[in-house]
Amino acid sequence: MINKKVVVVDDDKKTIIVLGETLARLGYQVYSADEGKKALELVKKEKPELFICDLLLPGIHGLELCHMIKNDPTLENVKIIAISAVYKESNYKLALDCRADAFIEKPFDIDDFEILVKKISDAEPTLEM
């Protein structure tokens, strides 16, 4: 079986490790970056099925990054889960504007994250919270 690809971007290395291990258990080949520019390069190179994006990133902001991916015809089918430790209703609305498929607030339960990943990877785009 060929693994699905996922790119995870977060400026917190512990988050990258935990999400990476979880996604690998779910059968994903995991690529990670700690800032927006590297993440965009990885997404363009690997063309993942899923992109997990922290909103507050050094360099390119997470929302801008999501918007860039969804507006690229070669990447528009990449499913996106936006994550943020600084929840505001405006972040949720911005995630909707950039066409993220789901939004989850940090800290989150890893079991809830797994359920969300499975739901997003098997479903049509819908914004979850």
* Mean of all residue pLDDT scores within the chain: 87
Lowest average pLDDT, out of 26-35, 45-54, 85-94, goes to: 85-94
Q: How would residue 59 be classed by pLDDT, with cut points 50, 70 and 90?
A: confident
Which tens digits make up the pLDDT trace of 61-108? 888 999 899 999 999 899 999 998 876 666 566 666 678 898 888 889
* pLDDT for res 125: 44
Q: What is the pLDDT of residue 53?
A: 95
Confidence of residue 17 (pLDDT cuts 50, 70, 90): very high
The residue among 126 and 101 whose pLDDT is bigger is 101
Strands (E), 1-129: 4-9, 28-33, 50-54, 79-84, 102-105
Instruction: State the residue for tokens 């972040």.
Output: 91
- Measured between alpha carbons, how far is 123 from 104 in angstroms, rounded to an integer? 17
pLDDT of residue 95: 62
Rounded Cα gap, residues 88 and 128, in angstroms: 15
The residues, any chain, with a CB within 8 Å of residue 74's CB and separated by 6 or more, are 44, 47
CATH class of the domain comprising 4-122? alpha beta
Question: In this model, does residue 1 exceed pLDDT 90?
Answer: no
